[in-house]
Amino acid sequence: MIVGPRPLEEPSSGLAARLASAGVGDRVYRVAITLFAACVPLLLLLIAAEIARAAWPALRTFGFGFLTSSAWDPVNGAFGAAPALYGTIVSSIVALVIATPLAIGVAIYLSEFAPGWLRQPVSFLVDLLAAIPSVVYGLWGIFVLIPLLRTHVVPFLKDTLHLGATPLFSGPNYGPSMLAAGVILAIMILPYISAVAREVLLAVPRSQREAALALGATRWETIWGAVLPYARSGIIGGVILGLGRALGETMAVTMVIGNTHEISSSLLSPGYTMASLIANQFSEATGDLHLSALMAIGFVLFVLTLVVNALARWLVWRVARSA
Amino acid sequence: MTAPSIPRATPRTRDTPRAAGEGHPGTIVAEHFSFWYGKKQALDAIDLAIPARNVTALIGPSGCGKSTFLRSINRMNELLPGTRHEGAITLDGEGIYSKTIDATALRQRIGMVFQRWNPFPKSIYENVAWGPRINGGRSRGELDALVESSLRRAALWDEVKDRLRQSALGLSGGQQQRLCIARALANEPEVLLLDEPASALDPIATQKIEELLYELKRELTVVIVTHNLQQAARVSDYTAFFYMGKLVEVDATDRIFTSPREERTDAYITGRFG
């Protein structure tokens, strides 16, 4: 008898059949899963294409001027995105300016200082802020935040800090305002920024902290000089994620911003954002051009958030690569 | 023979001329020092004197307490929750655990290098300048000079002088470890603690670190934890053998490796256990 490598024997017919059927099942499964996965990017492309198609009449009529014009006159058919674009960006910047230091402070406390038993519940409560429906934020804004701003914060800014002379805080404050929208947005994006920052800070290797401490750094110097720089790009990614949320937020902003299609240098004046403009006018849009102009606003908003999200992805990728 | 109550690394008879390092700062003495992680005792009444301007190696099997002892010298262990100690460690007669000693100031005087090199994700220059910067009070020119001298002392200057502004993470592992040594030296410490500094390095990078220690001991006290007995034999003047949280034996390195007094030391260095 020859001992050594032998040719493969034919599997018994029962086994062969089972293998063959498993092969078919595998293939069906793979095709189905691939189709499901393909649906998502396909959907994105479809949405983009559909918005672009619907926006096309307005974009063709107004051209690049659509972005720079302040007109919004459905009767005479003149539309421009400038005030809403301005309002979207300014309210989001106000939100970031307020939320970023707060969120990073919360994240530093939770990752570096909070005792173990406190970390989980506080993290949970902060994350819970993200679960509150935005219409509830809007209601709270109308009944609590706006009166608070009008009776306490604005007088403080004007009379105590004497900021009334600066363009940012000039003019009267009747209630709904860019400032109110910015504050509401700040509260809404705080959990996103702080959750990302917290995870990034917790992911900083212990060896980095030890390196700083062994050089004679205090706890604070260690955080400021070693932990935060190490986590910097990741935290920036979290901030941009928050910015993405702020740019697209609709309901709460619509309820507190005042919905006035004007560009005003003062944060105390009412304004408009692209999202709130669409939400307010879509149901009562008169005429095809009006509808198309709203679609064009949507298209601009879509592109803006896409760019912001791409930026966030790129930053997160850079962090992952350097770590 | 007048045996001191503390087993001195300083030998009693032979090779004493330079060995004691007396008159120089950087003498570390542990007196009945014990240490606990929670309920687990890691060090049991260690009595050990480490002479200035020598290399002292701490050897022993894993979990014997040698790293714990090393990290007790610069009070890194107390950063972990639930630890406590008894007894004392002194640096030049000053109790490092005494209430008047500030741990951060102490750690500036006692530099530390870790098993896994851990440069900051910053430039080479910024890494070395990090310690002096947080201590403050140095002009730009002084800082430049200090960075250069520290890199020279770590035998790294010639390799990096043209790319001080580039990221430290672009260096090889051995270079990064020497950068960490330079970073510790920039604080101008009296003592340098090394926790298995070469265990993750290739032989050539290891040799560079070992040669470096030979130079460094002219200026400061070096304490090195190592698993590598050949390394301990090569670089150290004194060797302390730890086992199960106790200091078994300490003596001049050549005597530990040729005629140890304790049976357990002999068994360990000849590879019968550990």
What pLDDT, on a 0 to 100 scale, did the predictor assign at position B4? 43
Q: Which of B79, B107, B169 lies nearest to residue A215, judging by beta carbons?
A: B107
Q: Which of A205, A216, A218 lies nearest to residue B131, judging by beta carbons?
A: A216
* Best mutation target, B73, B107, B123, to test chain A (most A CBs within 10 A): B107
Per-residue buried b or exposed e for A294-314, using 16+ beta carbons within 10 Å of the residue's own CB: bbbbbbbbbebbeebeebbee
What pLDDT, on a 0 to 100 scale, did the predictor assign at position A24? 84
Element at B161 (helix H, strand E)? none
For residues B11 and B240, the answer to whether their CB atoms sit within 8 Å is: no
**Residue A180: inside a domain:** yes
What's the pLDDT tens digit per position in A215-228?
Answer: 999 999 999 999 99
What number of residues does chain B have? 274
Higher pLDDT, A294 or A314: A294
Contact A214 B169 (CB under 8 A): no
Rg of chain A on CA atoms, in Å: 27
Closest-CA distance of chain A to residue B116, Å: 8
Cα–Cα distance between B191 and B194 in angstroms, integer? 10
Contact A216 B135 (CB under 8 A): yes
What's the pLDDT tens digit per position in B114-167?
Answer: 999 999 999 999 999 999 998 877 888 999 999 999 999 999 999 999 999 999
What pLDDT, on a 0 to 100 scale, did the predictor assign at position A310? 87
What pLDDT, on a 0 to 100 scale, did the predictor assign at position A167? 87
Contact A230 B118 (CB under 8 A): no
DSSP states of A171-218: S---S--HHHHHHHHHHHHHHHHHHHHHHHHHTS-HHHHHHHHHTT--
pLDDT surpasses 50 at B97:
yes
Cα–Cα distance between B111 and B96 in angstroms, integer? 14
CA distances, B218 to each of A287, B12, B79, B222, B250 (Å): 89, 22, 31, 10, 21
Closest CA to A319 of A244, A218, A241: A241
Please give the average per-residue pLDDT across A107-122, as a whole number. Answer: 91
Burial status of residue A142 (CB atoms within 10 A of its CB: 0-12, 13-18, 19 or more): middle
Please give the average per-residue pLDDT across A313-321, as a whole number. Answer: 73
Contact A229 B121 (CB under 8 A): yes
Please give the average per-residue pLDDT across A164-190, as a whole number. Answer: 91
What pLDDT, on a 0 to 100 scale, did the predictor assign at position A77? 86
Confidence at A320, pLDDT banded by 50, 70, 90: low
Name the residue range of residue A113's domain.
66-322
Among chain A residues, CA nearest to B104: A216
What pLDDT, on a 0 to 100 scale, did the predictor assign at position A313? 80
In chain B, which residues have their Cβ closer than 8 Å to the Cβ of A225? 130, 133-134
Helix (H, G, I), strand (E, B) or coil at B157: helix
What's the pLDDT tens digit per position in A35-83?
Answer: 999 999 999 999 999 999 999 999 999 988 899 999 898 888 899 999 9
CA distances, A42 to each of A46, B44, B187 (Å): 6, 67, 58
Among chain B residues, CA nearest to A232: B121
Contact B120 A205 (CB under 8 A): no
What pLDDT, on a 0 to 100 scale, did the predictor assign at position B6? 57
**Measured on CA atoms in the order B103, B105, B110, B115, is the torsion positive or negative?**
positive
Cα–Cα distance between A250 and A305 in angstroms, integer? 13
In chain B, which residues have their Cβ closer than 8 Å to the Cβ of A215? 107-108, 111, 130-131, 134, 183-184, 187
In percent, how much of chain A has pLDDT > 90? Answer: 63
**Residue A37: inside a domain:** no
For residues A276 and A254, the answer to whether their CB atoms sit within 8 Å is: yes
Contact A322 B130 (CB under 8 A): no
Closest CA to B185 of B237, B225, B130: B130
Q: Which of A208, A217, A322 lies nearest to residue B118, judging by beta carbons?
A: A208
What pLDDT, on a 0 to 100 scale, did the predictor assign at position B271? 84
Residue A176 backbone dihedrals phi, psi, to 5 degrees: -60, 135
On average, the pLDDT of chain A sits at 89
* Best mutation target, B79, B120, B193, to test chain A (most A CBs within 10 A): B120
Cα–Cα distance between B274 and B272 in angstroms, integer? 7
Cα–Cα distance between A108 and A200 in angstroms, integer? 10
On average, the pLDDT of chain B sits at 88
What's the pLDDT tens digit per position in A251-294?
Answer: 999 999 999 998 988 999 999 999 999 999 988 888 889 999 99
Among chain A residues, CA nearest to B184: A215
Q: Which of B112, B121, B135 lies nearest to residue A214, judging by beta carbons?
A: B112
**Residue A38: inside a domain:** no
In chain A, which residues have their Cβ closer than 8 Å to the Cβ of B118? 205, 207-208, 210-211
Chain B residues whose C-beta sits inside 8 Å of any chain A C-beta: 74, 76, 79, 104-108, 111-112, 114, 116, 118-122, 130-131, 133-135, 169, 180, 183-184, 187
CATH of residue A172: 1.10.3720.10
Helix (H, G, I), strand (E, B) or coil at A14: helix
In chain B, which residues have their Cβ closer than 8 Å to the Cβ of A322? 121, 169
pLDDT surpasses 70 at A1:
no
Is the ipTM above a cut-off of 0.85? Answer: yes
**Residue A291: inside a domain:** yes
Cα–Cα distance between B238 and B255 in angstroms, integer? 9
Cα–Cα distance between A33 and B205 in angstroms, integer? 50
| CB proximity list for A18: less than 8 A, separation 6 or greater | none
Please give the average per-residue pLDDT across B73-94, as a whole number. Answer: 91
In chain A, which residues have their Cβ closer than 8 Å to the Cβ of B72? none
Closest-CA distance of chain A to residue B137, Å: 15
Among chain A residues, CA nearest to B179: A211
* Best mutation target, B118, B135, B193, B223, to test chain A (most A CBs within 10 A): B118
What pLDDT, on a 0 to 100 scale, did the predictor assign at position B109? 92
The residue type at B178: R
Among chain B residues, CA nearest to A221: B134
pLDDT surpasses 90 at B12:
no
What's the pLDDT tens digit per position in B199-249?
Answer: 888 999 899 899 999 999 999 999 999 999 999 999 999 999 999 999 999
DSSP code for B123: B
Closest-CA distance of chain B to residue A210, Å: 8
For residues A180 and A149, the answer to whether their CB atoms sit within 8 Å is: yes
Closest-CA distance of chain A to residue B267, Å: 34
In percent, how much of chain B has pLDDT > 90? Answer: 73
Q: Which residue has the tokens 């919360």?
A: A106
Per-domain residue ranges of chain B: 28-269
pLDDT surpasses 70 at B86:
yes
* Best mutation target, A204, A215, A319, to test chain B (most B CBs within 10 A): A215
For residues B153 and B216, the answer to whether their CB atoms sit within 8 Å is: yes
**B150-157 contacts, C-beta under 8 A, 24 or more apart:** B150/B182, B150/B183, B150/B185, B150/B186, B151/B124, B151/B179, B151/B182, B153/B182, B153/B185, B153/B215, B153/B216, B153/B219, B154/B178, B154/B179, B154/B181, B154/B182, B154/B185, B154/B212, B155/B208, B155/B211, B155/B212, B155/B215, B156/B182
The residue type at B114: F
For residues B28 and B220, the answer to whether their CB atoms sit within 8 Å is: no
**Residue A310: inside a domain:** yes
Closest-CA distance of chain B to residue A105, Å: 21
- Topology (CATH) of B28-269: Rossmann fold (3.40.50)
Tokens standing for A185?
């947005």
Q: Which of B107, B116, B119 lies nearest to residue A216, judging by beta carbons?
A: B107
Confidence at B13, pLDDT banded by 50, 70, 90: very low
For residues A151 and A232, the answer to whether their CB atoms sit within 8 Å is: no
Count of domains in chain A? 1
